[in-house]
Amino acid sequence: MEKVIIIAEAGVNHNGDLEIAKRLIEVAAEAKADYVKFQTAKVVKSVSKYAPKAEYQKLNTGKEDESMLEMVKKFELDKEFHIELINHCAKCNIKFLSSPFDIESVELLNDLKIDLIKIPSGEITNLPYLKKVASCGLPIIFSTGMADMEDISKTMNVLFDNGVNKDNITILHCNTEYPTPMKDVNLQAMLTIKKEFDVKIGYSDHTLGIEIPIAAVALGAQVIEKHFTLDKTMEGPDHVASLEPNELKQMVTAIRNIEIALGDGIKKVTESELKNKNISRKSVHLTKDLKNGSIIIADDLAMKRPGGGISPMEMDKVIGKKINKDLFEDRMLNWEDLNQ
């Protein structure tokens, strides 16, 4: 299988602070993620001044009366901020990625020569935005939080109608609640998406902990996206449902181990266990001393460790054979001991 792409989602957990953003890049690189992802938005183009915050945002920020516009304005990154992050990613040997939330942001990221576009869940019903993304000619990953199969189908049709090849699309199963309750994860929906649309699949995770993205990889996810932070107690809407640095490392390590463990699907004796084969299996042994010329009966035989002699599966071929030398109790019987 191809290597799973791991996207460490910094999102807005930089709190508008360049030094925090750079440290997040360093943490993602230290964890050996493939990408570190931020969010790009021209806020006044993407959020109405009347837009309310989600309940989890109110809870996590502790600011009931703050509008969504007021909240996200603090996280807006200008072009220079992006360039600083891209350069820092290059220094840290990790790829930069950002989700655009409006057409102007798509244009900015395309101008900055990103190598793929990640469409967030909230934009997959945004027709002019999708057309703009399609026009960039880049590989596309899109999340499907709050969507059903009809929504996904409509998004795919827009992308197809605007020149995007199916091979350049990856669909991430996702639930847009922070944190996502386990009862709402429904990982098998990822497989339904795979079956229905025949595209690369993945999972964008908002649960607490690391077990769900690991399970997604075991089920066949080719992309994993997960929020992380420097400290869950920091002020901001997404810190609580994010991994801390040590947890991000654990997740990446576990995913890489799962990749290796999935193997090639061929059931065979592995090199590591070969040395244990004869130790653990059994051979046909004698229960007593036998003289040369004796005819073997069932009571003369016992199945004992070690293996390496005649397999117990061939015991019936041994019964009735004549031995060609004196043999002793507990002898591992070999075909050379028998007249053929």
Q: Please report, for the domain that includes residue 213, its CATH number.
A: 3.20.20.70
Same domain, 305 and 207: no
Same domain, 210 and 330: no
Residue type, 162: N
∠ CA(113), CA(118), CA(122), 5° rounding? 135
Same domain, 53 and 199: yes
What's the Rg (C-alpha) of the chain? 30
Same domain, 258 and 314: no
Same domain, 70 and 174: yes
Residue type, 195: K
Segment holding 246, helix H or strand E: helix 245-262
Question: At which of 219, 243, 262 does a domain end?
Answer: 262
Same domain, 92 and 225: yes
CA pair distance 10, 82, nearest whole angstrom: 13
Question: At which of 242, 262, 282 does a domain end?
Answer: 262
CATH number, domain of 294, equals 3.90.1210.10
Same domain, 156 and 275: no
Cβ–Cβ under 8 Å, residues 172 and 204: yes
Cβ–Cβ under 8 Å, residues 31 and 7: no
Residues of the domain holding 298: 271-337
Q: pTM above 0.75?
A: yes
pLDDT tens for the 340 residues of the chain, in order = 689 999 999 999 999 999 999 999 999 999 999 999 999 999 888 889 888 878 888 777 777 778 887 788 888 899 999 999 999 999 999 999 999 999 999 999 999 999 999 999 999 999 999 999 999 999 999 999 999 999 999 999 999 999 999 999 999 999 999 999 999 999 999 999 999 999 999 999 999 999 999 999 999 999 999 999 999 999 888 899 999 999 999 999 999 999 999 999 999 999 999 999 999 999 999 999 999 999 999 999 999 999 999 999 999 999 999 999 999 999 999 999 999 7
Pairing assessment for the beta strands 301-304 and 283-286 based on DSSP bridges:
antiparallel
Reduced to 3 states (helix: H, G, I; strand: E, B; else coil), residue 313 is helix
Same domain, 163 and 208: yes
CA pair distance 203, 200, nearest whole angstrom: 11
Residue 65, C-beta contacts closer than 8 angstroms, at least 6 positions apart:
none
Domain count, the chain: 2
Where do we find the tokens 């290796």?
260
